[in-house]
Amino acid sequence: LLGLGGAYVQTTLENLPGIRGLASSFGLNYIPGTWIQSIDVAKGTGGVPTGYESMTGGINVELKKPDESEPLFVNGYVNHWGRGELNVQLAHKFSKKWSMGVLSHGSFLASEIDRNPDGFRDLARYDQINVLNRWKYASERWMAQFGGRYLQENRLGGQIGFKSEALTPALYGFTNQTKRGEGFFKLARLFPAKPFQGFALLGNAVWHDTRSLIGRRVYSGQQRSAYFNSIYQNILGDTRHTYKIGASIQLDEYAESFGNLVLNRTEIVPGVYGEYTYTDPENITLVVGQRLDYHNLFGWQYTPRVHVKKHFKNHTDWRLHVGRGFRVGNPLAENMGLLVSSRQVVLRNPIQPEISWNMGTSLGRDFGKMTVMADVYHTRFQQQQIVDAEHPGHLYLYMSNGPSYATAAQIEAILPYKERWEFKAAYRFFDVKQTMQDRQGNEVFLEKMMVNKHRVLTNIAYALPYNKWKADLTIHWNGSMRLPMIGEAEAGRSPSFFNINAQVTRTFRTWEWYLGGENLTNFRQLNPIVQAREPFGSQFDAGIVWGPIVGRTIYSGFRWKLGS
């Protein structure tokens, strides 16, 4: 988002810490799509009540609630590579106040796929089980939710025929076993006569254990986290002036190792915050937030953020944002793909926090049925964790205090046509650069590797009356990106390419059937692995992947629900 990786985006699950820490290795793969009720995406640093870690944006995922869901929902999926998925969701209302829901997911890929052929699996075999149970209580004055979640996933990649280090020691392999558990709660005091007033307590606790074999080296990671937040909101005089105040604490214990490199730390971060909002619906909205946190390792951290939205009479909205972000990264977990190589990982200095300022503005206008939006955001780092793959045989991790920034500009247009058609088109430009070190230790200012500078997206959607048939076509054009140095060769650039996806859906009274395809042009990065014939050699590298590997994918599935 805004030209930087997902680690810089604060991803929350119903306003609780979600994809962070060691879970960033596989990101949103841990949240099944059918569980999701809605996704809210905010560019910039977001509001202060959810914390200080947002740097380029925030994604809040709302899951399906038991009191608002159908009693039974089943979704099945299969593609022609042999990947299968089954999602079963249950919801039951015990009374007007009490309800309970279960969200379950199971998926697997058991096929051996090597289209190159280079002797390596193009897709890792895997299986995942993911279950969430939630209870909800709702009355006029109180609302409470609590529950738990468990995830277990196994991945197996590497050379064709690899089973384990013990059974096939001569073959290069990748294995990953992850177990993750979570408990959460939310408690809110409501005031029916004063809907603008409220008090809430919310929190969660997470344990995450993962272990990987990468060639002949072992990665091990353990995370224990707890989070607690209290929020009070009310008005100042009238409902044009509202405020939120609160206190939070984030506890994290990390234990990571890769070969001889060991990264352990314990973070305790209590904080307080306040946010004031002025709202004049026909004119302007102003949000000013500030929070102050004390990090046990890195001291006091002050986080100011300001958001402005101005309404004009000609159907035009203008937004402005400025804010600070602060985070402590986990460079091993966040760059797992670069570890699948013969590179020696070198930590040049101790892990330090990343600090950035984000500034952005956007303009949106309605031209009859068509909506056009344009925005520009700039993220500038005071200090940044650099993951340097520019040196053959090495992966250097170090802090950079030199100039590092990401500028993102986008223009988007949406045009509904005769109620059944909808057209979307967008162009996005990234300028992302960072200060790094060359072979002699001198600072150099380089374009960030593996980031497309230009991207174009178009989408066409069509639906028959009552949505009996729905179809959509999406075309992505991905511009070239700078690649890191490979062996002794100078860094080059990837080619640009198109990615075309399409899907058609037939809707019946209680179920839907869908058929679709991804990467319909069958574009592939033909040789993604460097020195694939010598996997234990000094120049082996499977981390320079910039495009699709398996090519075209055809899939089909169904959705069936039992009404209330």
**How is 268-327 classified by DSSP, letter by letter?**
EEEEEEEEEEEEETTTEEEEEEEEEEEETTTEEEEEEEEEEEEEETTTEEEEEEEEEEEE
pLDDT of residue 416: 86
Query: Residue 280 is encoded by which pair of tokens?
Result: 């004049």
Which amino acid is residue 249, in one-letter code?
Answer: I
Cα within 13 Å of Cα(88), Cβ side: 3
Whether pLDDT at 490 is above 80: no
Kind and range of the H or E element at 333?
A: helix 331-334
For position 403, what pLDDT does the model report? 93
pLDDT at residue 154 greater than cutoff 80? yes
pLDDT of residue 564: 56
Predicted confidence (pLDDT) at residue 130 exceeds the cutoff of 70? yes
Band (pLDDT 50/70/90 cuts) for residue 248 is: very high
| 63-67, 178-182, 488-492: the lowest-pLDDT one | 488-492
What is the structure's pLDDT at 89?
97
> For residue 2, is pLDDT > 90?
no
Q: Is the pLDDT of residue 440 over 80?
A: no
Which pLDDT score, from 0 to 100, does residue 439 have? 76
pLDDT digits (tens, 9 = 90+) for 361-414: 999 999 888 999 999 999 999 999 999 998 888 999 999 888 999 999 999 999
pLDDT tens track for 512-524: 999 999 999 999 9
CA 534 to CA 109: how far, in whole Å?
26
Q: Which residues of 389-531 form beta strands (DSSP E)?
A: 394-400, 405-417, 421-437, 443-447, 454-463, 469-478, 497-507, 511-518
pLDDT for position 419? 78
488 pLDDT higher than 70: no
